[in-house]
Amino acid sequence: DAGVTQSPTHLIKTRGQQVTLRCSPKSGHDTVSWYQQALGQGPQFIFQYYEEEERQRGNFPDRFSGHQFPNYSSELNVNALLLGDSALYLCASSPTGNEQFFGPGTRLTVL
C-alpha cells in the first residue's frame, strides 16, 4: 500500500512566478492537509481539504490556494512567489478521526 506521495521532490522558481505542488493521499484517506516548513522550524499549517472543500485555513495569505479532486488528491498553488516562500512543503492525509500521515515533501527554492 503506497503511502502519501508528493511531486515534484524539488523545484526552483524565481520571484513573482507561480507554482503548483501535488499530493496523492494514502489509500482510503479522504482528508488532506498542507504544511510549510522553513529551515530550522516546525511545520506550519496552511490549510486542510475534505470533500473537495477547504475546511480549515492557517495564517497564510490568499496567494496560497488549493484544490482537492474527487479521488482525494490535492494541489497547492502559490502565486507571486516571494523569497520567503522557500521551504519544504508537506502534505498529510488522514482518515476521519485518526492520525495524520505525512509525505516526503517538496523542497521549493525561490531565487
Partner 1 sequence: DAKTTQPPSMDCAEGRAANLPCNHSTISGNEYVYWYRQIHSQGPQYIIHGLKNNETNEMASLIITEDRKSSTLILPHATLRDTAVYYCIATPYGGATNKLIFGTGTLLAVQP
In the complex, which residues of this chain contact partner 1 (CB under 8 A)? 4, 31, 33, 35, 40-45, 48, 50, 55-56, 58, 90, 92, 94-105
Beta strands at 106-110 and 87-94: parallel, antiparallel or unpaired? antiparallel
The residue among 18 and 27 lying less far from partner 1, judged by its C-beta, is 27
The residue among 49 and 110 lying less far from partner 1, judged by its C-beta, is 49
| SS3 state of residue 39 | coil
Rounded to 5 degrees, φ, ψ at 92 are -130, 140
- Closest contact distance (angstroms) between CB of 15 and partner 1 is 25
